[in-house]
Copies of this chain bind each other. A is one copy, B any other.
Amino acid sequence: MAGNSLGTVFRVTTWGESHGRAVGAVVDGCPAGLDLSEEDVQRELDRRRPGYSPVSTARREEDRAEILSGLFEGKTTGTPISILVWNRDAQSGAYDLLRNRPRPGHADLTYLARYGHRDHRGGGRSSGRETVGRVAAGAVAKKLLAGEGIDVAGYVRELGGVRAIIPNLDDISSLREEAGKNPVRCPDQKAAEEMIDVLDEARSAGDSLGGVAEIVAVGVPPGLGEPVFDKLDGDLARALMGIGAVKAVEIGAGAEAARMRGSESNDPIVPGTGGPNFATNNAGGILGGISTGSPIIIRIAVKPTPSISRSQRTVDLLTGKAAQIEIKGRHDPAIPPRIVPVAEAMVALVLADHLLRRRVARI
């Protein structure tokens, strides 16, 4: 109930603080018999790792995944999979000044309001470092999904006001390949260049940028999702809104649906191989909370990195008086490129859970 677990059948619990000894995840409910290796997890952690490019934070973590349980002779045993990653490059000294000066845009004050007592170093539990556990668990989920022909990929759709043009959402391999070619993870190379330019400018100005990421899942069979509260879109929205910095989630036509008419918005039903099909996909692959078989399409709006080097207004907690703060740590000037593997992991975790849940829907 304390909110560090996600999923019902395929359930992940993450633990660990930014500057604690380690971070990790326990995956409970992964079916027995899945081929899995530390490499499967490492691959995703490497995609998440900071420091891979000039647009990213300078914190360097090797982030080696160690699987401590739940595997035997290369296969999952159906018992909990405990994955651990040590924290090695935590530089807590940089945060001493911040102990009593809550950072705007961060969870400093809210953690204090809730718990009275907090690990302020690097944001503690509210740090982006917590997502190591999510990505590790997501790697297990992706392996499970792959076995059922489901593929999940994400990319940056907009950054600092620059919008990418994405011609075809269905060709997920090509989207992934193109997004992999630049540090902002945008499949539109021309837009990517512009994004890098505005990012450089913002960083020079001691500021940061927001943007939009999109995640697509193809191969999702129809029938995933539980009415009425555990809808697939509801669960996806929660999982994605639960990533730090996300302020909006859209499915399919999303916010644009509000400006459509029913005759435009409704996806016509047409005969297809293997049964009725949808001529368009404004639904984003989900109707009534249940997957339609069309690609699932989700967008998230990401606020600018709250840690900026410009001086900001805050309050000194010891004196209660107004104070200034300049954040000197190592931070990404924009979160969307780094959020991509995390968002993919969240989508994979939700889909893996619902894939298993569907098994009990019928006699």
Q: Could you mark each residue 90-131 of chain A with 1 if its beta carbon is under 8 Å from any beta carbon of chain B, else 0? A: 000000000000101111011101111111000011100010
Asked if B22 and A82 make an inter-chain contact with CB atoms under 8 angstroms apart, the answer reads yes
Shortest C-beta distance, A232 to chain B (Å), equals 9
Asked if B241 and A69 make an inter-chain contact with CB atoms under 8 angstroms apart, the answer reads no
Shortest C-beta distance, A70 to chain B (Å), equals 7
Q: A5-B13, A104-B267, A282-B303 are in contact. List 10 more A-B contacts (CB 8 A).
A: A32-B115, A78-B115, A106-B287, A113-B222, A113-B290, A210-B258, A210-B260, A237-B241, A263-B312, A266-B306
A275 interface residue (CB < 8 Å to B): yes
Chain B residues whose CB sits within 8 angstroms of the CB of A111 once the complex forms:
227, 288, 290
Q: Could you mark each residue 250-261 of chain A with 1 if its beta carbon is under 8 Å from any beta carbon of chain B, else 0? A: 111111111111
Given contacts A33-B363, A226-B1, contact A79 B125 (CB under 8 A): yes
Q: Count residues of A near B (Cβ-Cβ below 8 Å).
A: 156
Asked if A265 and B105 make an inter-chain contact with CB atoms under 8 angstroms apart, the answer reads yes
Which of B24, B230, B257, B283 makes the CB contact (< 8 A) with A82?
B24
Which of B5, B78, B208, B303 makes the CB contact (< 8 A) with A253?
B303
Shortest C-beta distance, A304 to chain B (Å), equals 4
* Interface stretch (choices A56-64, A189-197, A352-360): A352-360
Chain B residues whose CB sits within 8 angstroms of the CB of A207 once the complex forms:
261-263
Asked if A263 and B17 make an inter-chain contact with CB atoms under 8 angstroms apart, the answer reads no
Which of B117, B303, B359 makes the CB contact (< 8 A) with A360?
B359
Asked if A360 and B29 make an inter-chain contact with CB atoms under 8 angstroms apart, the answer reads yes
Shortest C-beta distance, A167 to chain B (Å), equals 21
